[in-house]
Amino acid sequence: MKTSPAVEKFLRSIYLLEVRNQKASGITLASKLNISPAAVTDMAIKLANKGLIKYQKHQSVKLTTKGLKVALNASRKHRLWETFLHKTLKLSLDEIHIEAELIESNTSTKLLNMMEEYLNFPEHDPHGDPIPDKNGILPEKQKFTPLNENIPGSYQIGRIHFESNEINDFFTEYEFKVGDILELVLIFKMDNALLIKRNKVSMVISNNIASRILVNKVIS
């Protein structure tokens, strides 16, 4: 099934929401894709006719099996490119998303597979998100929790959630990376901000930012 860049981005957006158990409503998609709500309805009808999504008036859309397949392949493209740009060309964590979006759409399967091999079949991109293999199979799911939902203790960053315009370059500025060890010292009652320590340096981060940092407990 040939799919245009716009269709791939649309389906990938739905996938990203579904995977986090969020509803793919009109406005949400419109804002994620930076298009008008009318354009979303438009596209939804088209894709429903192609059997890629389930769509009923005034309800959030859902991927069909067929649509999921396309979305997984789009994610694969995106995440392999992100990994490649980061590992090979040393683009920073907050640049790779945008750059990948620009390039990815017309990547051939052949090139994609060569990139994957060159990168030695990575299972996760630099944000920690899983990369589907060429059959659309995801690596075994690790269960991380948002840092802000934990009690004081030591944690390792397993994933960092931020898409283009959602969060600023916080993570780049402070060089938070997948694999880093953080110590959660306490959570302030007043505003739910978190006092954390990394490499012996203390800092306070907002609850919102902490919710984007997914971690695993470290037994120390």
- Binding-site ranges for DNA (CB under 7 A): 4-7, 25-28, 30, 33-46, 55, 57-60
Task: Pick what 142 binds: a second copy, DNA, none; C-beta below 5 to 8 Å, kind-dependent.
Answer: none
Q: How far is the CB of 194 from DNA (least distance, A)?
A: 28
**CA–CA distance, 74 with 44 (Å, rounded to integer):** 17
Binds 111: which of a second copy, DNA, none (CB < 5-8 Å by kind): a second copy
Ramachandran angles phi, psi of 142, nearest 5°: -100, 145
Give CA 103 to chain center in angstroms.
17
**120 binding a second copy? (CB under 8 A):** no
The site map against a second copy for 78-117 (x = CB under 8 A) is -------x--xxxx---x--xx--xx--xxx-xx--xx--
For the bound state, the minimum distance from the C-beta of residue 24 to a second copy, rounded and expressed in Å, comes to 26
DSSP state of 188: -
**65, 1 contact by CB (below 8 A):** no
Name the nearest CA neighbour of 212 among 148, 165, 130, 152: 148
Closest separation in Å from C-beta 68 to DNA: 19
